[in-house]
Amino acid sequence: MNNVPPTASTMPGQNIPLFKLMLIHAFVGMAIFIALFLTVLDRDVKSAGFEQKWVETQVFQNRWNDLIDHWREDGYFKNAGLWYLNIDRPFQGWTKQKDIHDSGWISSKNFNPEAEYYYRSNPVIMILPLAAMQRAKTMVLGGDASRKVFVLHNQGAVLIAGVLLGMIGTIMCRRMGLSLLHAMVLGVCAQIVFQTHPLNLASFFRLYFQHAMNVPICLFVLSLVLDDGKKPWQWIRALSVFLITLSEPATAMLFIAGYAVLNVLVTGRLFKVHPAGLEESTLKSQRALSTVFLPCTVAFGLIITQYAYASLFIPNIELVGSKSIFRTGLDGNTKWHGQLYEAFNGMLFKNYLYGPGRSNIGGSPAFWIPGFAAIFTTLLAAAWSRKEGEDQTAVRDTAYYTALLSLVFFPMAIVFNNAMAIHPFIYPLMILPPICLAMFAFVPALVAKSARYRWPIVGITALIAFAVTMSNLRYFAVTFPIDLATGT
């Protein structure tokens, strides 16, 4: 049997107009983007009411705008491009607390007023696009970093990730044998539900590394879906891995390790490939050395250089951040959770946002439970598949891509479970892409491909996606209500 890489974009008899497909998903994404800013995101971020209601309560964070303003005034390279904490409002609050669990952070017990504090666990390179946008704004209009630019950037990142996700869904549903129209509907369903989920809408108030990381993660999978052995997709995959590593180094390490293990496990099994030797393995066929491991290494080299530069040229520097033994929960502290299932339960069903109201922004269990079930259904469908043919190959490929996307979440959530319990509004962001794809594209496609009439399956899925979207918007609007009198 010929060794056909699972990433090969064969699509025999199913010509997909890739450029038109991208335009359609981009149009849908922009339509949703505009609709959001005309409804639930229609807020006057510069008003005194918004300041009092959301900023002073620390629901809306000026953290990145403050950092970007500091870089502009004090010098980006003078700060080594790192997260300077002395001007960070939440950090200032922590330094005034008398008792903080020994997690590596600073309290009034050990605060040194002479020290220059920087965050050690992330190089914050992921906010450079936002910094560039804010720099352009200040050069043209003057003033400080703008909240409007901030929220447009954040929702723009969600928009791009949604477009990439929708394209993955459409292409794979088409390969499973659905018509281009039906495949497009399912891909759009996954895209819209993802873009309107409360956790993504909440990027209006706060931008997390995981919001940004979903862009290169989806780009990574799309590059595999479309990889036909030609260099453009390999270069795109290398770039995506580079950006993944810079976005969240700890998550990137676990993801790439999981990627290597998955490829070793599925070779000769999931894809019915029987390689004669290592040179024909799945890792080899995907050129993992040059497109995954090398760019990851280069990114870590850049990060190490960044911190080495800071240590050499910033006087009185102190690097702070949560210790690994604290993040993993292996310090034995039970303040946040006692058992792993408690951490998962709190993350998925009680994922509040920090602030006096501790608003729950995770949505309903009616989303998460079917979502996980859809992921496992997609994986089991490949395990039970005994037929051959192009559509059955696509079924197995779909399971592979679902597993890849899930690897961003499960290893991180299991290993660093204390961090997950403390930040329940962050880590569910990483499981959103595979849940949306599995629940609104892959599982309906699996059902439809075996049905006599496919349009009822597609139509019901679209109706459910519409209902979930409206529920998402309503949930966000209730969690963060708009004062119609003041627009805040």
Backbone angles phi, psi at 117, to 5 degrees: -90, 130
Closest CA to 385 of 281, 261, 269: 269
The pLDDT tens digits of the residues spanning 421-463 come to 888 888 899 999 999 999 999 999 999 988 888 999 999 999 9
Burial label for 412, CB within 10 Å (0-12, 13-18, 19+), is: buried
Residue boundaries of the structural domains of the chain? 18-479
Closest CA to 200 of 374, 418, 430: 430
How many Cα neighbours within 13 Å face the side chain of 326? 11
Length of the chain measured in residues: 488
Which pLDDT score, from 0 to 100, does residue 13 have? 35
Which pLDDT score, from 0 to 100, does residue 137 have? 96
Contacts of 141 (CB under 8 A, 6+ apart): none
List, in sequence order, every residue forming a beta bridge with 117; answer none if it has no partner. 318
Backbone angles phi, psi at 116, to 5 degrees: -105, 110
CB 283 within 8 A of CB 256: no
CB 399 within 8 A of CB 379: yes
Tell me the C-alpha distance between 199 and 472, whole Å.
9
Q: Which helix (H) or strand (E) holds 119?
A: strand 116-119
The answer to whether the Cα torsion of 85, 86, 92, 97 is positive or negative is: positive
Tell me the C-alpha distance between 130 and 6, whole Å.
36
CB 91 within 8 A of CB 58: no
Which pLDDT score, from 0 to 100, does residue 280 have? 44
Residue type (1 letter), 32: I
Contacts of 123 (CB under 8 A, 6+ apart): 81, 82, 246, 249, 302, 303, 306, 307
Tell me the C-alpha distance between 16 and 173, whole Å.
11
Query: What separation in angstroms does the CA of 3 have from each of 85, 219, 272, 279, 395?
Result: 52, 25, 9, 11, 17
DSSP secondary structure string, 260-286? HHHHHHHTTTTT----SSGGGSHHHHT
Which pLDDT score, from 0 to 100, does residue 101 have? 58
Which pLDDT score, from 0 to 100, does residue 37 have? 97
pTM here?
Answer: 0.91
Which ranges constitute the DSSP H helices of 142-293?
147-175, 180-195, 198-201, 209-226, 231-247, 249-266, 282-285, 288
Backbone angles phi, psi at 271, to 5 degrees: -100, 10
Place of tokens 């992330």: 122
Q: What parts of the chain have a pLDDT lower than 70?
A: 1-14, 98-104, 267-282, 351-359, 385-390
Tell me the C-alpha distance between 123 and 135, whole Å.
19
List, in sequence order, every residue forming a beta bridge with 267; answer none if it has no partner. none
The answer to whether the Cα torsion of 216, 259, 341, 376 is positive or negative is: positive
Which pLDDT score, from 0 to 100, does residue 377 have? 94
Which pLDDT score, from 0 to 100, does residue 483 have? 86
As given in the structure block, the two tokens for residue 399 are 């399971």
Which pLDDT score, from 0 to 100, does residue 11 have? 43
As given in the structure block, the two tokens for residue 314 are 């910033």
Backbone angles phi, psi at 473, to 5 degrees: -65, -40
CB 168 within 8 A of CB 225: yes
As given in the structure block, the two tokens for residue 324 are 């690994």
Tell me the C-alpha distance between 432 and 195, whole Å.
10
Contacts of 147 (CB under 8 A, 6+ apart): 45, 46, 60, 62, 65
The pLDDT tens digits of the residues spanning 297-330 come to 999 999 999 999 999 999 999 998 888 888 888 8
Q: Which helix (H) or strand (E) holds 480?
A: none
How many Cα neighbours within 13 Å face the side chain of 237? 25
The pLDDT tens digits of the residues spanning 149-203 come to 999 999 999 999 999 999 999 999 999 999 999 999 999 999 999 999 999 999 9
In the chain, what is the greatest distance between 2 CA atoms, to the nearest angstrom? Answer: 73
Closest CA to 85 of 51, 124, 127, 126: 124
Which pLDDT score, from 0 to 100, does residue 129 have? 96
Query: How far is the first Cα of the chain from the last one, in angstroms, to the nearest whole number?
Result: 63
CB 187 within 8 A of CB 176: no
Cα Rg of the chain, angstroms: 23
Tell me the C-alpha distance between 33 and 35, whole Å.
6
Which pLDDT score, from 0 to 100, does residue 310 have? 95
